[in-house]
Amino acid sequence: MLELHYEYPTEIVARLRSEIEDDSLESFCLELGIDLLVLFGSACTDAHSAGDSDLAYSVDFSRPKEDRPNLLDVATAFYVRYGVDAGDTMDFMNSAYCYDDFGYRGFT
């Protein structure tokens, strides 16, 4: 059985930056079938006061459809790697571009 843990947004952002530097994040994403990963929301601008980390991704569409990860696959992989309920994971293809009351442009 996998042991799950929780990481705070500051820890997740620090890990993401570290994993960009050592290329382990790229390897993880490629293995999973993700070709674009974006950190957005409050953790991107001020991780210390953020309640969670928001990650959006796009799958590698060069893969056959049956080999592409679905949202559950991706969310599970990120939860195991970074902690249960540590953030929100969202598929770009199932998102809508929007503005909120503060003029923030993003995906929901």
Please report, for the chain, the start and end positions of each structural domain, with discontinuous segments joined by +: 9-107
89: β partners: 55
Return the pLDDT at 5. 56
88, 55 contact by CB (below 8 A):
yes
Return the pLDDT at 2. 54
Return the pLDDT at 87. 67
CATH number of the domain located at residue range(s) 9-107 in this protein? 3.30.460
Task: Report residue 94 as tokens.
Answer: 């199932």
16, 7 contact by CB (below 8 A):
no
Please count the CA atoms within 13 angstroms of the CA of 90 that sit on its side-chain side.
Answer: 18
- Across the chain, which has 108 residues, the per-10-residue mean pLDDT values are 66 90 95 90 82 86 89 88 72 58 45
Return the pLDDT at 107. 43
Return the pLDDT at 108. 42
39, 29 contact by CB (below 8 A):
no
**The whole model's pTM is what?**
0.73
Q: Which of 57, 61, 73 shows the shortest CA–CA distance to 107?
A: 57
